[in-house]
Chain A
Amino acid sequence: MGETLRSYEEINEKIREGKAVVMTAEEVIDLVAEKGLERTAREVDVVTTGTFGAMCSSGLMFNIGHTKPRMKIAEAYLNGVLTYGGLAAVDLYLGATQVAKDDPLNKVHPGEFKYGGGHVIQDLVAGKDILLEASSYGTDDYPRKKLSTWINIRDLNQIYLFNPRNAYQNYNVAVNCSDKMIYTYLGLLLPHLGNAGFSSAGQLSPLLNDPYYRTIGVGTKIFLGGGEGYVAWQGTQHDPSGARNERGIPKGGAGTLAVIGDLKEMSPDWLWGLSLRGYGCSLAVGLGIPIPILDEEMLYFCSIRDEEIEAPVVDYSNAYPNGTGEVLGYVNYGDLRKGRITVQGKEIPTASISSYVRAREIAEILKKWIAEDQFTLTVPVLALPGKESGVRFRNLPERPYSNGQNGMRR
Chain B
Amino acid sequence: MIETRKVVLHFPQMAVDRPIVCDLALHFGLSFNILRASISPHHEGLMVMEIIGESEKNEEGLQYLRERGVEIQPLSQDIKKVEEKCIHCGTCVGVCSTEALFMERPSFKVRYDEGKCIACELCVLACPTHAMEALF
Residues of A in contact with B (beta carbons under 8 Å apart):
52-54, 110, 114, 183, 187-188, 190, 195-197, 272-277, 282, 284, 339, 349-358, 360
Contacts and interface: CB of A to CB of B under 8 A. Distances in A.
Interface residues on B, range: 10 to 19
B129 interface: yes
Contacts of A197: 91, 94
Interface string B41-55: 000000000000000
A284 B109 CA distance: 17
Interface of B is mostly: loop
B128 A110 contact: no
Contact of A349 (B94, B122, B128): B94
Contacts of A356: 88, 90, 108
Given A190-B95, A195-B95, A355 B126 contact: no
Contacts, number: 72
Contacts of B94: 187-188, 195-197, 349-351
A272 B87 contact: yes
Judged by DSSP, the binding face of A is: strand
Contacts of B89: 53, 284, 351-355
A339 B105 CA distance: 10
Given A188-B126, A275-B128, 9 more contacts: A53-B89, A183-B125, A188-B95, A195-B94, A272-B129, A273-B129, A282-B128, A353-B91, A358-B88
Q: Identify which of A110, A282, A351, A353 gathers the most chain B CB atoms within 10 Å of its CB.
A: A351
A351 B108 contact: no
19 contacts: A53-B89, A110-B125, A187-B126, A188-B125, A195-B94, A196-B94, A275-B129, A277-B125, A277-B126, A282-B128, A339-B103, A350-B94, A351-B89, A351-B93, A352-B89, A352-B90, A352-B91, A355-B88, A356-B88
Contacts of A195: 94-95
Interface in B75-129: 87-95, 103, 107-109, 122, 125-126, 128-129
Contacts of B87: 52, 272, 284, 355, 358
A277 B107 CA distance: 27
Nearest to A199: B89
